[in-house]
Amino acid sequence: MSDLVETSEPIGAVRREPLRSRLKIPLMLTPALAIILLLFGGGILVGAGQSFGYFPAIGLNEFTFDYYRSVLTDPNFLRSLWLTFRIAATATVLSSILAVAFALVLRHNFRGSRLATFLFQIPLPVPHLVAASGIVLLVTQSGLFARLAYSLGVIEVPADFPVMVFDEAGIAIILTFLWKEIPFVGLVVLAILQSVGPQYEEQARTLGANGRQRFFHVLLPLIMPGILSTSIIIFAFTFASYEIPLLLGVRFPATLPVVAFRQYQDPDLALRPEAMAISVVLAIVALLLLIAYRRLAQYAVKR
């Protein structure tokens, strides 16, 4: 589902519109939103109910904060939260920076620039799971990179290759996210750059601005709204994603979505309220982080 959300995000829809047309789109979306709310809102309600101890299927119907208390006092909770945040934040920041770098190159016309832009977009329709298996083939100690490094004599035995999968740093997880998300941010930034054209930079040049000044004072403010909205989507997705960390992450500590998923999957239904409590906490933390980020970014852009 997250894949769907991500790829159907309209590219370049970042400029501020007058109030009337800004309202028009939400209004037109109302029927679709209503269905989504019914289907998913119902699920969320049930889940939230379970987290508060309302789970008639296993004979629970007492309202309680016990599950939250047990989740929040678990010493491993903070560790998992931090890991989740670190991976999501790193993936978001790195993919934004790298995407801007790619977009700055791809917007020029050079020999093969169209082919390069095409190749750049390939990760977009590839499912995250496929991306993850690809990354595994490349970066495990028996993977392509390790063998390459070994045959080139860079490392003496394949086991010397740095551990990137099932590692606590989550390198393979981050790499997978980067591979998937860079084109997403990149295409949004590229669309903005192409619609703006070189004119503002030319004007800045004749006013004496060098390359660095043109980037920071002219280009960056222009593409910032695009980076902002895409990075929010990416952060929200990577923060809540469970399949990649489940596949590529170390067993302990696991990211919060993975912990929740494992408890949810457990045949012991009594673990489910806790899983739901984790999910709710996760959602609230994500929301708070995103609000804070938006505030911060708007403040930074204004200055």
Partner 1 sequence: MTNVVLKHLSRRFGDHLAVRDLNLEIASGEMVAFLGPSGCGKTTTLRMITGLIQPTSGDVLFDGESVVGIPTERRGAVMVFQKHLLFPTMNVADNVGFGLKMAGVEKPEIARRVDEILELVELPGLGDRKAHELSGGQQQRVALARALVVHPQVLLLDEPLANLDANLRITMRHLIRTIQRELGITAIFVTHDQEEAVMLADRVALMFDGVVQQVGEPNSFYKRPATARVAQFFRNSNFLPGQRTGNVVTTSVGDVEVDPDLVPEGSGHVVLTVRPEEVQPVLDGSTEGNVVPATIESVIYMGSYTQLEARIGDETWNVQTSAAFMPKDGETVMLRLPREHLWIVRDDSSEEGAVAS
Binding site for partner 1 (CB under 8 A): 199-200, 202-210, 213, 217-218, 221-222, 301
Q: Measured from the CB of residue 219, what is the shortest distance to partner 1 in angstroms?
A: 10
- Give min distance, CB of 300 to partner 1, in A: 12
Q: How far is the CB of 203 from partner 1 (least distance, A)?
A: 4
3-state SS string for the chain: CHHHHHHCCCCCCCCCCCHHHHHHHHHHHHHHHHHHHHHHHHHHHHHHHHHCCEEHHHCEECCCCHHHHHHHHCHHHHHHHHHHHHHHHHHHHHHHHHHHHHHHHHCCCCCCHHHHHHHHHCCCCCCHHHHHHHHHHHHCCCCHHHHHHHHCCCCCCHHHCCCCCCCCCCHHHHHHHHHHHHHHHHHHHHHHHHHHCCHHHHHHHHCCCCHHHHHHHHHHHHHHHHHHHHHHHHHHHHHHCCHHHHHHCCCCCCCHHHHHHHHHHCCCHHHHHHHHHHHHHHHHHHHHHHHHHHHHHHHHHHC
Shorter beta-carbon distance to partner 1: residue 251 or 302: 302
Nearer residue to partner 1 within complex by CB, 79 or 205:
205
* Residue with smaller CB distance to partner 1, 111 or 212: 212
User: Which C-beta is closer to partner 1: that of 121 or that of 213?
Assistant: 213
Give the residue with the Cβ less far from partner 1, 89 or 204.
204
Q: How far is the CB of 209 from partner 1 (least distance, A)?
A: 5
Nearer to partner 1, 205 or 262 (CB): 205
Residue 301 CB, shortest distance to partner 1, in Å, is 8
Least Å from the CB of residue 200 to partner 1: 6
